[in-house]
Structure formats: C-alpha cells, structure tokens
Amino acid sequence: MKSHDKNGNPHTTPRQSATFTNDINSDIRRAAATGIYDIRGGGAKRKVPHFDDLLFLGASMSRYPLEGYREKCGTDVTLGTRFAKNPIELETPITIAGMSFGALSGPAKEALGRGASAAGTSTTTGDGGMTPEERGHSDKLVYQYLPSRYGMNPDDLRKADAIEIVVGQGAKPGGGGMLLGQKISDRVAQMRNLPKGIDQRSACRHPDWTGPDDLEIKILELREITNWQVPIYVKVAGARPYYDTTLAVKAGADVVVLDGMQGGTAATQDVFIEHVGQPTLAIVRSAVEALQELGMHRKVQLVLSGGIRSGADVAKAMALGADAVAIGTAALIALGDNDPKWEQEYNDLGSTTGAYDDWHEGQDPAGITTQDPDLMKRFDPVEGGRRLRNYLKVMTLEAQTIARACGKNHLHNLEPEDLVALTVESAAMAGVPLSGTNWIPGQTKY
C-alpha cells in the first residue's frame, strides 16, 4: 500500500475493527453464502478465565514439602460412596468423559477403554449406547442415560459399573447434540433405532421430565433396575452450579459431574458453543459451596470437566474442591486427533492442525471421529490405548508433583489456600486471593 495519496498527503494506517474482525467477517460471509448456521465439534475457542490464571504457591518457611522418592502422595479416589453397594475405585482422579459411539468410531472407543483401564480409571459411554469394544476393554465403564435415549438398553444398564444421568453438557446447556447423516452407518443406525444417513438431533431434555422432582423418581428407578449396586451420577452443564448441585444432591445423586463451557462436543452450533454457559473455573467453587452447605462435600463426589489438559489443571480443580476430573478433547488428542502428520489432509478439508473441528462430517484424517471404514483403518486402538495410558500417567505424576510441593500426602488434601490468582476476574471466580494481595474479590475488603 502506498503511504501517500496522489496529492502527497500521508494515509492513516488502515485499522482492523475490534468488532468486525477478520474472523467475524468470514463468519458473516459464510452465513451469507450458505444460509445455514455453522456446526462444529470441540469446545469454546474464545479466551475465558481458566486454570491458567491460577498459580500454586508451593512450600515455603511455613509449609513443609514432601520428598518425591520417599514420601507417598496418594492419587486414588472412590466415586459413589453415598448409596451404591459397589462404588467405583480409581487409581487416578482423571476419568474419561462420555463421548458417543457415532461421534467416535468403535476402535476409538476401544482405545479409550484400553488406555483408561491401563491407567486404573474409568471410561463413559455417550449418546448412541454401549459398544462391545468399550465394555470389553473398560475395567470400569459408566453408562450414560441421556435425554435422547439413543441406544438405551436396560440390559446394558446392568452391565455398567455406574450410571450417569445426563441433564446437560457444558458446550451446550439447554441444547441437544447432533449427529449428521454422513456418520450414520448401518451399525450406528441400528444401535440408535433410527434410519441410516439421515441427520439426527438429540433431545435437549428428558422426555419424562418436567422438573427436578422427576430426577428423584428417575434415580430411584435406575437404582431398582441395578439393585442399588452401582453409583448414579448426575451430569449438569455449568449453568447454575449452586442450584443444580443442590437439586442433584437432594434428588439422591451419588456423584455430580459438572461440565464447564470449554467442554468439548461432537457437533453443536458454533453460536451455542461460544455463547452459552460459564467457564469451568467459574463453576467449581459454587458447586463446592452447595455441597458444603448440605454437609455433603466429599460424600457426594464432584467431577469437574471442560478444558482440562494437564496435571496442573487437575491439581487446581482438586484444590478448588473437586474430587476428580473428566477429560474428552484432551483424550482424543492423546489418541492422535489433530496430529500434524495429517496437515496436508486437514488443508484439503479447509482446516489446519490444531483447528480441525469438523468432527461431525465424518472425514477425520486420523480415523477417530469417523465411521468411514477406510479412515477407521488408519487408527490402531492398541497404539491409541498405549498413548492414552501414557498421557494419563503423566498428568497424574504432574498433579502428584504439585501436591508434594504443597506438602500434601494426597491430591485430595490440596486446598484453595494453596492457590493465588493472576487476575481480578479469576480471583473472584475461583475464590482465591489475587497474587501479591490478600484480596478475594467479592469476599474480602482490601
């Protein structure tokens, strides 16, 4: 661009609009060209306050760290201690979140089972039912009971080690999922009792549900079907965590699963993913507060999910009061999703490594979020399972390292007092002091 006009006067520097950014403009052009809204997988991509905004203090004169090679730091957790005869005992508090068969291939489900079992943790089914691949390879399998009832089978309920009633998901509180026709193979159609090749929308609420009282009835029904053997979890989106946690506990839940807005999804409207829900960081403390007020903290376990990526995230979630976490997207990346080795193929699909989120289209070069037999062959479930096991192990070791540095002999002994926040927003949301001060916005005066 010329710096002066034809009269010799300088141009002002061209400025991009902060409101109409290039990204927004491309969304407008896409909408104008197609007339349909954008659907994608993954979680919120916008920047919101997150665990990265918190730091551990570690030990100092007044705190005594533990020695890594000689002093134990426990990582085990038991989920479902309230009513179930057989609670779930896990070696690590990092569980695999519910991801539907249909969104994921059978071999991907198998790999999740292999990896999780080798790491001593559980997997979770999803919309579309229980596959033999997943049941066969998961030592501990949580069976989701979803609004859609796709793939719901009372026999499978009895094969599960726990049941998770899904009320909502962080990526789309108040919305249902989607599975587009491209991914509805004969097998997926048969399991969901729906026609092949036709787009499916999952229900956004349970068909027999008019309010929280119905949850109590539903929990009792499921307990009777499973003879009070297995824990009943209730999964809610991070919309109104204080009230939702209170209502779930009052309805008889053994475990509350709380999913923040960064939480992944297989296919949802982009506008929904980006604009509905609350950040994971912002929901945990009020859920913990609800449990504490009911005298149920640590008695009804809290599992937190939505954007958990590292042992530091795990440790921070636990320090804020969660008993365990669940991971979806990170597990898929560990299996091989968005691997740079497929860059050329991502480019051919109009995407790039790290940004590929068209999971609903069923053309995943990595063979994970697809039902295409040729693409599926690219994915080796044994290798995938090994990678997931390694990743879970590393995250557990990282969390343990941090806990030891804070002088804790179990991950569950981490506490808000171990943390500070880097921003006023994250301090207010997490209920921990702003770094360098003793100020917890909303709680203490500075």
Ligand X SMILES: Cc1cc2nc3c(=O)[nH]c(=O)nc-3n(C[C@H](O)[C@H](O)[C@H](O)COP(=O)(O)O)c2cc1C
Binding site for ligand X (CB under 6 A): 41, 43, 97-100, 103-104, 126-127, 144, 166, 169-170, 235, 259, 262-266, 305-308, 327-330, 359, 369
Q: Are strands 232-237 and 162-166 parallel, antiparallel or unpaired?
A: parallel
Query: 73 or 130, CB closer to ligand X?
Result: 130
Q: Alpha helix (H) ranges present in 294-421? A: 311-319, 329-335, 343-348, 373-376, 381-405
What is the smallest separation between the CB atom of 260 and ligand X, expressed in angstroms? 8
Query: 263 or 279, CB closer to ligand X?
Result: 263
Query: 100 or 185, CB closer to ligand X?
Result: 100
Query: Sign of dihedral through CA atoms 16, 20, 24, 26?
Result: negative
Question: Which helix (H) or strand (E) element contains residue 219?
Answer: helix 212-225
Query: 87 or 176, CB closer to ligand X?
Result: 176
What is the smallest separation between the CB atom of 144 and ligand X, expressed in angstroms? 6
What is the smallest separation between the CB atom of 200 and ligand X, expressed in angstroms? 12
Query: 100 or 226, CB closer to ligand X?
Result: 100
What is the smallest separation between the CB atom of 125 and ligand X, expressed in angstroms? 8
Query: 151 or 416, CB closer to ligand X?
Result: 151
Structure token pair of residue 235: 């999964």
Query: What would you measure as the largest C-alpha separation in the chain, in angstroms?
Result: 87
Q: Which amino acid is at 341?
A: K
- Count CB neighbours of 60 within 10 A: 9
Q: Are strands 232-237 and 255-259 parallel, antiparallel or unpaired?
A: parallel
What is the smallest separation between the CB atom of 165 and ligand X, expressed in angstroms? 10
Q: Residues with Cβ < 8 Å from 362, sequence gap 6 or more?
A: 180, 182, 183, 369, 370, 371, 372
Q: Residues with Cβ < 8 Å from 227, sequence gap 6 or more?
A: 85
- Which residue, judged by CB position, is nearest to ligand X in the bound state? 328
Short-list 276, 277, 300, CA closest to 290: 300
What is the smallest separation between the CB atom of 95 and ligand X, expressed in angstroms? 10
